[in-house]
Amino acid sequence: MAEVRRWSGNDTTKYSIYNKELDQLEAFVRTHKKIYIFGEGKIGTAVAHYFRQSGFRFDGCVTSDDMEWMKSDYSQNPYGIVMGVGDGLFFEILPVLYRFMHDKDIFIPSSDVRENMGNAFSIDYARENFWINIFTESQCNLNCKSCSTFAPVCKSGRYEVDQLKKDLLRIKALNIPKINFINFTGGETFLHPQLLELFSCARKLFPEIPMNCYTNGLKILSVEDSYLSAIHEWGITLIITEYPLPGLHLEEAYQRLDRLGVSYNVIYSEGQKYFSKRPLDFTKSTPKYKYYMCPRYKMCDSLFLYKGKFYKCIYAFMSNAFNQAFGTSLITQREDYLDIYKIKPDDIYQYMISRIPYCGYCSPIEELVPWGISEKRIEEWS
Q: Which residues bind ligand SF4 (CB under 6 A)?
A: 140, 142-144, 147, 149, 151, 186-188, 216, 278, 291, 294, 296-297, 313, 315-316, 356, 358-359, 362
The nearest distance, CB 318 to ligand SF4, in angstroms, is 10
For the chain, give the number of residues.
Answer: 382
Question: What gap in Å lies between CA 382 and CA 279, rounded to an integer?
Answer: 4
Q: Measured from the CB atom, is 56 or 337 closer to ligand SF4?
A: 337
The nearest distance, CB 375 to ligand SF4, in angstroms, is 13
The nearest distance, CB 314 to ligand SF4, in angstroms, is 7
Q: Measured from the CB atom, is 74 or 315 closer to ligand SF4?
A: 315
| DSSP string for 255-292 | HHHHHHT--EEEE---SS-EEEE--B-TT--S-GGGGG
Chain centre distance of CA 70: 38
Q: Measured from the CB atom, is 62 or 316 closer to ligand SF4?
A: 316
Cβ–Cβ < 8 Å for 152, 283: no
Q: Measured from the CB atom, is 310 or 358 closer to ligand SF4?
A: 358
The nearest distance, CB 175 to ligand SF4, in angstroms, is 27
For helices 90-100 and 67-76, what crossing angle results, to 10°? 30
Question: What gap in Å lies between CA 333 and CA 330, rounded to an integer?
Answer: 10
Picking from 40, 31, 125, 157, the residue whose alpha carbon sits closest to that of residue 89 is 40
Question: Element (H or E) spanning 173, and its range?
Answer: helix 161-174
The nearest distance, CB 89 to ligand SF4, in angstroms, is 31
Q: Measured from the CB atom, is 171 or 356 closer to ligand SF4?
A: 356
Q: Measured from the CB atom, is 70 or 137 closer to ligand SF4?
A: 137
Q: How many helices (H) and strands (E) does the chain have?
A: 14, 15
The nearest distance, CB 239 to ligand SF4, in angstroms, is 11
